[in-house]
Structure 1
Amino acid sequence: MNVVINLLLFLLPILSSLLIAQVSNPLSSYQSLQTIDGAALYKKQLTNGNEAYLQVIDLRKMQIDQITGEVDNMGLNEGKYYKGEGGHYSPFFQNKLFSEVTDEYKKLYANNVFSMINCSFFEQYQSSTQLSFPIKLNGVVISGGTSPYGPIKQPKDKYYSNIHLKTLVWNSKQAYITDYNPVSGSPLNQNAVKNA
């Protein structure tokens, strides 16, 4: 009997770590769509009929680029999110067709592009428009954001006054999602953060 108890006490941490690894592995419920050395794309069917996609990038082998249209108008003092409301640039960018972006990336990287994602989140749909959230690229804040929604003093709907914003931060070694502080501008205002 003591041997069985000792064996269970020995195996319990191993079995529980295997169970935790099985439960906490987010890829176990996804179907692999495409995999190359350094990147993979997965898909999952949701219970409500929608589909969720997960992209895994190894930044030691791949890089993330961000592309925007040309600036039509600097949008002086129109920023709302970065370091509080107003007082920051929020330029109007020219919209680009997906085919134009594809052509630009082909010129830059030939056939070495793994995926492209449209993350513009414009709040008005014109040929030239402002981004609704702040962006930092290569160490420079290129837009302070212009959204009437979000945690600003008087949002368009009071629901948005309690929204907690997140930001995607990346460099050549890692990418992570962290809290964004619309009053201080953190982490966009940190010198160590070059892209967010």
Structure 2
Amino acid sequence: MIAAPAMPPATQPSAGDSAATDASALYMRAVAAVQDSGKPSTSWLQRQMGVGYNTAAAWIEQMQQDGMISTPDHLGRRVMLGEGAPPPRPAPEQQMQIPVELPEKFRTADDRLRLLIERVERLEEEKKGINDDIREVFAEMKGTGYDTKIARMILRLRKMRPDDRAEMEALLDAYKAALGLS
């Protein structure tokens, strides 16, 4: 019986070589997927290839070392570099210019808009003035010795409808009794 010639150790098949070839083939598929899609994202690659996060992250890191994708920016996003990169967007054409002088049919709407905006501005100024006046009244109240928190509570109670106020006070009394506060 003639024995088969022995293969050199480097060419003898082993379980590790099979796994390495499979891993290399998967990595090449991952590279192709990222180049085709232009999405160098770990989570996207993980979903597309059906692998775990660590495997996808290792592939992304390897692609970065191979110069195919950029390092992550401050938000963690990466972009394609070189041949796999999507083509740059063309520069926007001249921005649309709004005519300074509007046609006659739009002038009435323009005047109306300006009047409404000026009215809102006046009301904002009045509101600021009223808020300043209210602040002064509370400062005077505090200077006289009254508790401003209680005064604000009284203002809220006075704004309520009487039946709502009675219901709230009944609930408050019930809760206080349940907790032994009354």
Q: What's the TM-score, normalizing by structure 1?
A: 0.21
Q: Which has the larger radius of gyration?
A: 2
More strand by share: 1
